[in-house]
Amino acid sequence: MAIINTKLKPFTTQAYHNGKFVTVSDADLKGKWSVFFFYPADFTFVCPT
């Protein structure tokens, strides 16, 4: 489901960038275009890949 032009809710999460883990928040993305992909239950017993 596409949710283009939807306001982003406040969040903080870990991301892997340039060989290390960094903290990313909604404040880091303010005023920038962003694309998010979510893979629920990926790499668990639900998904055998």
Q: Which residues contact 14 (CB under 8 A, 6 or more apart)?
A: 21, 22, 23, 24
For residue range 18-44, what is the model confidence (pLDDT) as tens digits? 999 999 999 998 888 887 776 666 666
Q: Are 25 and 15 in contact (CB under 8 A)?
A: no
Active-site residue, from 8, 15, 29, 47: 47
Identify any residues that bridge with 14 across adjacent strands, giving them in sequence order: 23
Tokens of 8: 């982003």
47 assigned to active site: yes
Task: Name the more confident of 45 and 14.
Answer: 14
In the three-class reduction of DSSP (H, G, I as helix; E, B as strand; rest coil), residue 27 is classed as: helix
Q: Do β-strands 12-17 and 20-25 pair in parallel, antiparallel, or remain unpaired? A: antiparallel
